[in-house]
């Protein structure tokens, strides 16, 4: 395969690239040799995850990467932990028995090398956002789209045989440098699945940028996300999304203050309206 390298248990055929067979303790990956210098792009991945395992007796999943490192095997779905860049995880097995998420589960993570993916919690502490998607053992084609444009990361799925994209993740404030590499990896442990990549297609998006962006060296940007709150503040929601964590004392105080101000405003407005009605009634006598 020109322009591509692969490692581990990866098997290349004329129809697909199998990152792992349906066997235990396998890992494999495939990486493009050419760094991406596009500031705005969209990646379409045609994939298939399938195997003989029944419900919750299969794993572990597949990962899509846009990272500085390449061809480095590791514990995160067959690739390196503490990476630099973006990862999209298609996790098919719930390691956290206490989770309320519905699996398979798709999540996004941006890392500057300082974060570690926690398999025991299915990456919950470093997850930016995610959604559930019934993508395993389907008899039809399954697709994933990852779009990055002007600091906005969007992930969409087409796994229901409807030939239409369904929103999964939408995050603003994402900063990714240029010059990183695209790749895909998968891993199995005590449970297993076939993880196949059928195609990966990258498209350039023609987007206007502010004039000041022309002076930025995009290869020197550190991967980061500007969030109003840390992903660690998130807790599970059975819908597959996030809701805020428990209210702190400071948040409770602000809510009570806002409620009190609202009551005062309503009281003042009510008093003014009542007084005007009284004056209007007097004029009719």
Q: What is the pLDDT of residues 131-173, one digit of tens each?
A: 999 999 999 999 999 999 999 999 999 999 999 999 999 999 9
The pLDDT of residue 274: 64
* Mean pLDDT across 180-185: 98
Q: 4-225 in CATH: which number? A: 2.60.120.200
Query: Do residues 37 and 221 lie in contact, with contact meaning Cβ atoms separated by under 8 Å?
Result: no
pLDDT reading at 190 higher than 80: yes
Position 218 pLDDT exceeds 50: yes
CB under 8 Å to 255, separation ≥6 — which residues? 247
Q: What is the pLDDT of residue 243?
A: 37
The pLDDT confidence band at residue 102, using thresholds 50, 70 and 90, is very high
Token pair for 104: 């398979």
Between 70-74, 160-164, 181-185, 250-254, the lowest mean confidence (pLDDT) is in 250-254
pLDDT band at 56 (very low <50, low <70, confident <90, very high): confident
pLDDT band for 276, please (50, 70, 90 cuts): low
**Those residues with Cβ within 8 angstroms of residue 36's Cβ, 6 or more apart along the chain or in another chain:** 66, 178, 179, 180, 181, 182, 202
pTM above 0.85, yes or no: no
Average pLDDT, the chain: 88
pLDDT per residue as tens digits for the range 18-27:
999 999 999 9
| pLDDT number for residue 267 | 72
Q: With contact defined as beta carbons under 8 Å apart, do 147 and 205 qualify? A: yes
Phi, psi (5° rounding) for residue 55? -55, 130
The residue-averaged pLDDT of 237-253 equals 45
Percentage of residues of the chain with pLDDT beyond 70: 84
**pLDDT beyond 50 at 272:** yes
């Amino acid at each position: 395969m020109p322009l591509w390298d692969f490692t581990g248990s990866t098997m290349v055929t004329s129809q697909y690239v199998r990152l792992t067979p349906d066997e235990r303790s396998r890992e494999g990956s495939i990486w493009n040799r050419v760094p991406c210098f596009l500031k705005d792009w969209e990646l379409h991945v045609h994939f298939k995850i399938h195997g003989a395992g029944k419900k919750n007796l299969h794993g572990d999943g597949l990962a899509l990467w846009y990272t500085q490192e390449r061809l480095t095997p590791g514990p995160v779905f067959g690739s390196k932990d503490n990476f630099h860049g973006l990862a999209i995880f298609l996790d098919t097995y719930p390691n956290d028995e206490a989770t309320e998420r519905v699996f398979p589960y798709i999540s996004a993570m941006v890392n500057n090398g300082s974060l570690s993916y926690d398999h025991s919690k299915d990456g919950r502490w470093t997850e930016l956002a995610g959604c559930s998607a019934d993508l395993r053992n389907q008899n039809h084609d399954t697709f994933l789209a990852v779009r990055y444009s002007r600091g906005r990361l969007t992930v969409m799925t087409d796994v229901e045989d409807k030939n239409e994209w369904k929103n999964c993740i939408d995050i603003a404030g994402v900063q990714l440098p240029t010059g990183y590499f695209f790749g895909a990896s998968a891993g199995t442990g005590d449970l297993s699945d076939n993880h196949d990549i059928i195609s990966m297609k990258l498209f350039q998006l023609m987007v206007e940028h502010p004039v000041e962006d022309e002076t930025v060296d995009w290869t020197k940007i550190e991967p980061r996300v500007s969030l109003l709150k840390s992903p660690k503040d998130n807790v599970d929601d059975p819908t597959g999304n996030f809701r805020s964590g428990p209210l702190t004392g400071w948040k409770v105080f602000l809510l009570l203050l806002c409620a009190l101000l609202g009551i005062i405003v309503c009281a003042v407005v009510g008093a003014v309206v009542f007084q005007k009605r009284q004056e209007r009634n007097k004029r009719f006598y």
